[in-house]
Structure 1
Amino acid sequence: MKYFLAATLLLLSTLTQAYNQQALMSSYFGVVLIRGYNQDGGMAYGSGVVVAENEVVTNCHVLRATKQPWVSRGEDSYPITSVRADTWHDLCLVTTHAMPFQPVPLGNSSSLQRGQEITAIGHSNGVPAPITSVGEIQGLYPTETGFMIRSSAKFLMGASGSGLFDMDGKLVGINTFKTAGNGGSIHFALPVEWLKTLASLPVSQTFPVSGKALWEEDEDKKPYYMRAAVPESRQDWAALETIALAWTRSEKNSPDAWFSLGMAEQQLLHFSAAAQAYQHSVTLDPNFVEALFKRGHMAKKLGDGETVSAVETRLRQIDPQLVPVYQTFMGCEGSCH
């Protein structure tokens, strides 16, 4: 049922949100492959995005294993001559020369909304042509500038440093790290606003690049949204409950914290607690569609027909096309009133 809901909501998003095909195609050609030989003679690779003439942004961790990296597309290659590295934020701006590719337009993460459709474009598994993955914004977490982005747009090994774009082809994030587990991967992108500081950093010609990234921090020092992602993807609901409880105490106005707690309580069959957590989530964010669906589901489990009906009414206010999806999800015939 969980996957039916996710797939149906994404399909609805695709049908209702406009996209600029020409702009997205232009951005597609602004994504490049980063390559280099590692110490064992094997190939190290990642992805990058052209952000200025002869300049490509990528993740610094892509440059950890090679002394002579280069940018490539197809059979063409362009040696990387220098780098400006912000290793903590895992962003590196590399320079090459005679590269004919046009920079992509920059957007901003602050304008994004939960549920908004986005596209990841990157060289997953080192394939020569970029691969696209359409998804939606699942979470937005405030940072010093911009928002860390959790999305359902998948990226695989080799797509670190690739671009996350809105449907107008504007770069909004850099795909960087993810979790893995039986419950599926959870994908995170760094906010595009972080690129602004790279130009002021010192230039270096030293490779490999070294330094710990924020997502590699000790677990108890990470922000709660990162801590919660691992047990969620591994379906370790007891661990998620512990983290989510601490998260709600620390950030009581975070709808994501309450949603994570609701998920944990639901899977632990604590339906009353799950209903309360989901209610907190939708009170804080009345447009949190997935939380509304789950609130309705818990209400049905508890025999609370009034809330089942109220959720349907709220979904109709957000988008009438959500109503038949909700009715199917809930097993209602024609109406959940």
Structure 2
Amino acid sequence: MVETLELSHSIVMVTTDMPGGSNGRGSGVVVSPEYVATNCHVLANSNGANIAKFRDGYQPIALKAHWRRDICLLKFDPLPFKPIPMRDSTTLKYEEEVFSLSFPAAAPVPQPSYGNIKGIHRYDGGLIVRSNASFSMGSSGGALFDQDFNLIGLTTFKSPGHRAFYYSLPVEWIKELMASPEITSLKTQEMPFWALPMAQRPYFMQVVIPYQNEEWQTLKVIASQWIAEEPGSADAWYFLGLAEEGLQQLELAKRDLRKAYVLNQRDLDAMLALSRVAFAQKDLPALESLQLPVSALDKEQGAQITLKIQQLKNGS
């Protein structure tokens, strides 16, 4: 599409000179005439960095960094690229369609990936965006866009495992960093928040591996701790209900998944879990009540619920 091609002109490859003579690569986004935003872990402890676009290279003249948040800004003499408009993460909604652009595996041109917003998690004054628009090595510092081509996040890290979760950092952190002082060194001992020991990571990260491994009791403990800290988090209630579903505690699962849905009526995953519980309990009215809201967000999943309703009506 023409718009995606135009956007790709503002996505750059970031290259670094690493100790020992090797090179590192990542992605970056032009967010002003002078600044390219990227992830600090792309740059950290390198001997130097530059950006490349259309076989031309550009050397930064300064750096701004928030190592723990993993947001860095490379400053240049005004660049010949159009800055990307930014949309605050507070305006985002679950299941919005999104797409990413970045340089995975050192691709010669930015590569797109498509998906939906699956989670919006409060952390350190911002909202970390989880989507199912996949990305891989080299995509760090790439762009996550909404359907109006606004930048809504920097593609940064993903969970391990076969059902990976993909996370992007909020544009608010980019804006805050623009107002911070410049620094002179790429050397740091600080680790990004997402690479800390597991117990020090935010709860939205701690739940992932128990979920992937179907360690339901462990998941229930972590989700309960999350709720104690953030009782208004729909995601915390969702993972608690998911754990209870896995433990066959269906009445508890129904109660807590319902709380997730009440807190966030665009929580498709919570609705789908509720539909599984309703089907297992042969609760036809509950299943019928979910058919329309699920279909409004995902027609294929809505069709699956229609089939389940028909099965219950047929007594199968």
Does TM, normalized by the shorter one, top 0.5?
A: yes
Q: 1:89 corresponds to which residue?
A: 69
Residue from 194, 200, 205 that aligns with 1:215: 194
State the distance in 1 between where 2:140 and 2:297 align: 35
Amino acid in structure 1 at the alignment position of 2:265: P
Q: 1:164 corresponds to which residue?
A: 144
After superposition, the C-alpha distances for 1:126-185 in whole angstroms (9 at most, x for unaligned) are: 222111111111111234544211111111111111111101111011111211113x11
Amino acid in structure 1 at the alignment position of 2:81: F
**Shift, 1:323, TM fit:** 3.6
Q: Find the residue that maps to 1:189 and give its secondary structure.
A: strand
State the distance in 2 between where 1:198 and 1:319 align: 35
State the distance in 2 between where 1:65 and 1:74 align: 27
**Shift, 1:319, TM fit:** 6.0
RMSD: 2.5
Structure 1 unaligned regions, length at least 5: 1-20
Q: 1:123 corresponds to which residue?
A: 103
Q: 2:279 corresponds to which residue?
A: 300
Measured at CA, do residues 315 and 107 of structure 1 come closer, stay the same or move farther in structure 2, by a change above 3 Å?
same
Q: 2:49 corresponds to which residue?
A: 69
**Shift, 1:207, TM fit:** 2.9
**Shift, 1:74, TM fit:** 4.2
State the distance in 2 between where 1:243 and 1:117 align: 29
Q: Find the residue that maps to 2:182 and give its secondary structure.
A: coil
State the distance in 2 between where 1:28 and 1:108 align: 21
**Shift, 1:210, TM fit:** 4.8
Give the 5 Å matches for 1:260-275. 260-275=239-254
Give the 5 Å matches for 1:1-337. 22-97=2-77, 99-143=79-123, 145-182=125-162, 184-208=163-187, 210-315=189-294, 318=296, 321=299, 323-328=302-307, 330=308, 332=310
Amino acid in structure 2 at the alignment position of 1:169: F
Amino acid in structure 2 at the alignment position of 1:55: Y
Moved more, 269-278 or 80-89: 269-278
State the distance in 2 between where 1:171 and 1:23 align: 13
**Shift, 1:217, TM fit:** 3.2
**Shift, 1:260, TM fit:** 0.8
Q: Find the residue that maps to 2:41 and give its secondary structure.
A: helix
Contact 2:15 2:25 in 1 (8 A): yes
After superposition, the C-alpha distances for 1:49-74 in whole angstroms (9 at most, x for unaligned) are: 01112420101110024212110124
**Shift, 1:310, TM fit:** 2.0
Q: 1:14 corresponds to which residue?
A: none
**Shift, 1:221, TM fit:** 3.1
Contact 1:78 1:98 in 2 (8 A): no
State the distance in 1 between where 2:249 and 2:72 align: 45
Q: 1:7 corresponds to which residue?
A: none
State the distance in 2 between where 1:35 and 1:122 align: 13
Contact 2:266 2:297 in 1 (8 A): no
Contact 1:24 1:168 in 2 (8 A): no
Q: 1:6 corresponds to which residue?
A: none
State the distance in 2 between where 1:210 and 1:103 align: 31
Measured at CA, do residues 319 and 131 of structure 1 come closer, stay the same or move farther in structure 2, by a change above 3 Å?
closer
After superposition, the C-alpha distances for 1:198-230 in whole angstroms (9 at most, x for unaligned) are: 222222332345522222334333321122123
Amino acid in structure 2 at the alignment position of 1:248: I
Amino acid in structure 1 at the alignment position of 2:120: L
Structure-2-length-normalised TM-score: 0.89
Q: Percent identity?
A: 27
Structure-1-length-normalised TM-score: 0.84
Measured at CA, do residues 234 and 57 of structure 1 come closer, stay the same or move farther in structure 2, by a change above 3 Å?
farther
Q: 1:5 corresponds to which residue?
A: none
Measured at CA, do residues 303 and 208 of structure 1 come closer, stay the same or move farther in structure 2, by a change above 3 Å?
same
Contact 2:62 2:76 in 1 (8 A): yes
State the distance in 1 between where 2:92 and 2:9 align: 23
Contact 1:296 1:311 in 2 (8 A): yes
State the distance in 1 between where 2:98 and 2:297 align: 19
